[in-house]
Amino acid sequence: MSAAPVPAPRASGRSTAGAFVTTAPADPGRAIAAVRASRLLDSLFLITLFTVTFEKLRWSFAGTITFSDISALLFLAAYGVSMVGRARRPQPRAVAILLTFFVLLLAAYLAGYFDLEAGDASKQFWKGLVKWAIHFLFLAGGVALLARRSVRFYWRCVGWFFAGMLFECLYGVAQLVVAQGGGNLDNLVLNRITGGASAINLYGVVNGASVFRPNALTGDPNHLGIMLVVPLLVLTPLWLRMERSNVWFRRLPWAIGTILVIEIATLSRSGLLGLLVGVLVLLIPYRRKLGSAQLLKPLAGVVVVLGAAIASRPHFFWVVLRTRVGAGSSDKSASVHFSVYDFIPQILHKEPLFGLGLNTFSVFYEEVTGKTNWGPHSYYVALVVETGLIGTMVYAAYIWWVFSRLASLRRFGAWLTSIGDPLAARVRPLAWGLTAALIATMVSNVFYLTMQFYYFFALVALIVAAPVVLTRGHREADAAADAAARAAAAEQA
């Protein structure tokens, strides 16, 4: 069996259970402890992936701390402990590059801090910096963990990441049902855990009927709409190439359909714009699947569900649709999203190199906006205004490198297809799905800010780790097959 044209594998240092080990401990007790520590580390990572979009699951402690903050910090602590006392081993090159970008971005952000005065701006800066540091270190630690785990564990991580988003959608459905009955699901369930106050988004009223937009466990229906673009664009190509004997071939259409219904229910224009662009990207390799019965059947199910809802109150839904997309509508948010770009030339003239300072936009523009917590409503406006040209260029280099990892994964998938390897049915759709998801998220963030949230760092971790894990897994499978063939030949001889 031929081997993929990729660099020779590094020593993985893994046991069959995926634990970090260097040599077999003489003490069985220590071996058991090592396996348990490895399982704890894996569990913390999976829990963080599952809850990474649960923004409402937070408490007022040292500012605001989310459940994902806690689980990510526990994961980083467990990862650090797992490295203590073990033989030094080289980290994967991808982790080294990530840590280099961490240092460069940290330097750019700190350079912007020295122009700040003590007060609200300084507090906001350190709040934003600490959050960003936890996010980025979780990303680097996640890639380091995945690089030393099996292909099977990688797919488990993908599953847990998207299972959390499906849970969001199921909660969103329940949210809508309870709200239509005059209740507040958050009060019944969530607020008893957090002690806070949250509710489904009330968009407006049409002829006395309330218009609700599900925000599920996120803080905003637009956040939810943009986040859900990722599972839609990744799971769909995986399902289209999945063998019919696989149990997930029958389950995924239900999951994808549920996610799509909630995506539409959020009424998020940024989310739908990103989804449209992502679909256009997927048409490059899968345009022949566009009119296939496999794809049209679940789409027909979604149309039936939405059609039944619209048919029950056509005027209600027409008014809602017109306020979101109609010209001259009462919704003025579109002009707000565009007007924030006017801040960029002002800052480039005033603080061109390092900007106003990380996470300080709301402080400096309180007099303009009249609000103390008003963000720039665009990730790219925040990037330029808060970190200047230097921070923007470093971040652009980082994103370019992430795209280069996707290009490597697509090339690997194309090579597998050319040699007829069945693994291509997983690698190629994953590569294109992740590419479409990243592009779609970046497009959506022209008018919103979700690329600073945990889920985006988790997405990047899965992207960066994919070529490392999958190419190594293929090489190991090749080596095992060759060894088995040699053993069989030796027995026959």
Is the model's pLDDT at 76 over the cut of 90? yes
Q: Percent of the chain, pLDDT > 70? A: 84
In the predicted model, is pLDDT for residue 260 greater than 70? yes
Q: Which of 234-243, 247-256, 434-443, 472-481 has the lowest mean pLDDT?
A: 472-481
**Residue 26 confidence class, pLDDT cut points 50, 70, 90:** low
In the numeric block, which tokens belong to residue 88? 């030094």
pLDDT digits (tens, 9 = 90+) for 223-234: 999 999 999 999
DSSP state of 407: H
Residue 9 pLDDT greater than 90, yes or no: no
Separation of CA 393 from chain center: 22
Buried b (16+ CB within 10 A) or exposed e, 16-52: eebbbbeeeeeeeeeeeebeeebeebbebbbbbbbbb
Report the C-alpha gap between 369 and 371 in whole angstroms. 5
Q: What are phi and psi of 455, to 5 degrees?
A: -60, -35
**CB within 8 Å of 339: residues ≥ 6 apart:** none
Is residue 81's pLDDT more than 90? no
Local confidence band at 330 (pLDDT 50, 70, 90 cut-offs): very low
Q: pLDDT (tens digit, 9 = 90+) per residue, 164-205?
A: 999 999 999 999 999 999 999 999 998 888 887 788 998 888
Residue 117 per-residue DSSP state: P
The string of pLDDT tens digits covering residues 448-481 is 889 999 999 999 999 999 999 999 877 776 666 6
User: Which residue(s) pair with 58 in the sheet?
Assistant: 66
pLDDT of residue 12: 40
The pLDDT of residue 334 is above 70: no
Q: Among all chains, which residue has been given the structure tokens 């707000």?
A: 336
> Which residue carries 């071996």 as its tokens?
31
Residue 390's CB: how many other CB atoms inside 10 A? 19
Q: How high is the pLDDT of residue 392?
A: 95
Decide: pTM greater than 0.95: no
Q: What is the mean pLDDT of the chain?
A: 85
Q: Is 226:445 a contact under the CB 8 Å cutoff? A: yes
With 60 as the cut, is the pLDDT of residue 369 above it? no
Q: Residue 153 corresponds to which tokens in the numbers above?
A: 């564990």
pLDDT at 306: 87
Task: Name the pLDDT band for 85 (thresholds 50, 70, 90).
Answer: low
The arithmetic mean of pLDDT across residues 37-66, rounded, is 90
**Domains of the chain by residue range:** 25-89, 97-148+343-493, 162-331
Closest by alpha carbon to 75, among 105, 42, 36, 119?
42
Q: Which pLDDT score, from 0 to 100, does residue 16 have?
A: 38
- Residue range 144-154: mean pLDDT, rounded: 94
∠ CA 161-167-171, rounded to 5°: 150
Between residues 6 and 417, the one the model is more confident about: 417
Label residue 22 by pLDDT band (50, 70, 90).
very low
Per-residue pLDDT tens digits for 384-399: 988 999 999 999 999 9
Of the segments 25-29, 30-34, 311-315, which one has the largest average pLDDT value? 311-315
Position with higher pLDDT, 327 vs 122: 122
- The per-residue pLDDT for range 268-326, each reduced to its tens digit, is 999 999 999 999 999 999 988 877 888 888 888 889 988 888 888 887 888 888 877 76
What confidence tens digit (pLDDT) does each residue in 59-74 have?
887 678 999 999 999 9
